[in-house]
Amino acid sequence: QVQLVESGGGFVQAGGSLRLSCAASGVTFRSYAMGWFRQAPGKEREFVATISRSGGTTYYRDSVKGRFTISRDNAKNTVYLQMNSLKAEDTAVYYCAADLTLADIATMSADQYEYWGQGTQVTVSS
């Protein structure tokens, strides 16, 4: 019943922007912290950004701070990742994930997330 569907990926030149969306269904969306992770070919999945249930707490990996912004619209059951000033190093498949939490917290640990989307490809040309 739980489904997370990412969209918004694509091909952009370095310095450009993309906005990823993740629409959730089959869950009580406001009970879940949400996260974005990414995985490049041949590399391990890595944390990108996370946001607490209310949107009041966010964390980012150092390499995207100041460039990426995570946000959520609980009325639309959707979490977003605004990506600006994209670099070639940002090229990866981006995954949305949901973590049921009892408190308004956010987590950077992939193994804490119960549900995952299928991913959306982001390709940044140098």
Per-residue pLDDT tens over the stretch 69-92: 999 999 999 999 999 999 999 999
Place of tokens 């090229």: 91
Which pLDDT value is given to residue 22?
98
Q: Which residues pair with 121 in a beta bridge?
A: 93
Number of other residues whose CB lies within 10 A of the CB of residue 76: 12
> What are the helix and strand counts (H, E) for the chain?
0, 11
Q: Which residue in 86, 81, 83 sits closest to 125, CA to CA?
A: 86
Q: Alpha-carbon distance 48 to 21, whole Å?
A: 14
Which regions of the chain are under pLDDT 50? Answer: none
Which pLDDT value is given to residue 37?
98
CA angle 91, 92, 97 (to 5 degrees): 135
Interacting residues of 103 by C-beta distance below 8 A, sequence separation 6+: none
Which pLDDT value is given to residue 27?
78
Q: What is the largest CA-CA distance in the chain?
A: 42
Which pLDDT value is given to residue 2?
77
